[in-house]
Amino acid sequence: MTQDAPLDAGQLNTYFALMEVSSLLHHAVEQHLRADGDISYVQFQILARLADSPGGSRRMTELADGVVYSRSGLTYQAGLLEKAQLVTRTTAKDDERSVVVTITDTGRALVARVLPGHVDVVRRLLLDPLTPRDVTALGGVLTRVRDHMRAAPPRSATPRRTRKGQP
């Protein structure tokens, strides 16, 4: 296993900086979206993902997997979005259990409306203080970490989840 020793100062700093930066960025984005479009970050993520999907549709499970989110939480959010006329929910033709969420024109319009401001926040807080080279390097390292995380599931395997990887 990994060694059993404390982290050195540099490692600690990296860890803390990562958590704080993401937390601050999350807060800022959340605040902007609430003020500008009256939606939360999760809702925006859902809408953006749908807008980017073929036919503007996704099944609930696909959405939950994409956004890091609980199933019940997604049901709740989908309910809110549906009430706000931003998405519709229909049962899938091929599987009576599945629910297909589809973004409406109103939903697309909302995404289009808040996107510039969203991008602006990200640029102002995250990208502005960095050189293009920095951005590339940061992206490279984080992508590596992300892939590693996705590949290595938590020690306690998620219960009641299909292990799609192993046939």
Partner DNA sequence: TCCAGTTGCTTCGAATCTGAAGCACATCAC
Partner DNA sequence: GTGATGTGCTTCAGATTCGAAGCAACTGGA
**Where does this chain bind DNA (CB under 7 A)?**
40, 42, 59-61, 64, 69-80, 89, 92, 95-100, 159-160, 162
> Which of DNA, a copy of itself, none does residue 156 bind to, with CB < 5 to 8 Å depending on kind?
a copy of itself
* Measured distance between the N- and C-terminal CA atoms of the chain, rounded to whole angstroms: 26
Query: Measured from the CB of residue 46, what is the shortest distance to DNA in angstroms?
Result: 10
Q: Between residues 16 and 76, which has the closer beta carbon with respect to DNA?
A: 76
CA distance 161 to 77: 21
| Residue 38, Ramachandran bin (φ over 0: left; ψ between -120 and 50: alpha; else beta) | left
> Which of DNA, a copy of itself, none does residue 109 bind to, with CB < 5 to 8 Å depending on kind?
none
CA distance 89 to 93: 12
By CB under 8 A, is residue 84 in contact with a copy of itself? no
Burial of 125 from C-beta contacts in 10 A (0-12 / 13-18 / 19+): middle
Three-state DSSP class for residue 6: coil
Binding-site member from 4, 96, 97, 162 for a copy of itself (CB under 8 A):
4
Indicate the DSSP class of residue 56: G
> Which of DNA, a copy of itself, none does residue 96 bind to, with CB < 5 to 8 Å depending on kind?
DNA
User: Do the beta carbons of residue 60 and residue 101 sit within 8 Å?
Assistant: yes
Q: Among 11-19, 50-58, 81-89, 103-111, which window interacts with a copy of itself (CB under 8 A)?
A: 11-19
Interface residues toward a copy of itself, by CB under 8 A: 1-4, 6-7, 10-11, 13-15, 17-28, 31, 35, 68, 116, 119-120, 122-130, 134-139, 141-150, 152, 154, 156
